[in-house]
Amino acid sequence: MKTAIILATILVALTACGEAQRNYSYMTGQPTELCHGGVVYLQFTSGATPMYGTNNLIRTCENPK
């Protein structure tokens, strides 16, 4: 039973990934910046896209540790 509860908790956590950022975008109308794999992404309510700088290159970042 303990294993089932732990597994269920992990599955719920994985399926909620990005939910807070999508909700923020929905409520404010503004995208949220995310750093993943060294690339800055803009999270919108319908998905995400890489962020481009003024030099038309994809913006990079350092992943938080």
60 in any annotated domain = no
26 in any annotated domain = yes
Which distant-in-sequence residues (6+ apart) come within 8 Å of 27 by Cβ?
A: none
55 in any annotated domain = no
pLDDT band for position 28 (cuts 50, 70, 90): confident
> Domain span at residue 8?
2-50
61 in any annotated domain = no
18 in any annotated domain = yes
Q: Determine the pLDDT at residue 51.
A: 94
Report the pLDDT averaged over residues 40-45: 88
Q: Which of 62, 21, 27, 63 is nearest to 42 (CA)?
A: 21
24 in any annotated domain = yes
Residue 17 has a CB neighbour count (10 Å cut-off) of 8
For tokens 């994809």, name the residue: 58
- Number of domains within the chain: 1
Q: Determine the pLDDT at residue 8.
A: 64
Q: Taking the complete model, does pTM exceed 0.85, yes or no?
A: no
19 in any annotated domain = yes
Q: Which of 38, 34, 9 is nearest to 20 (CA)?
A: 34
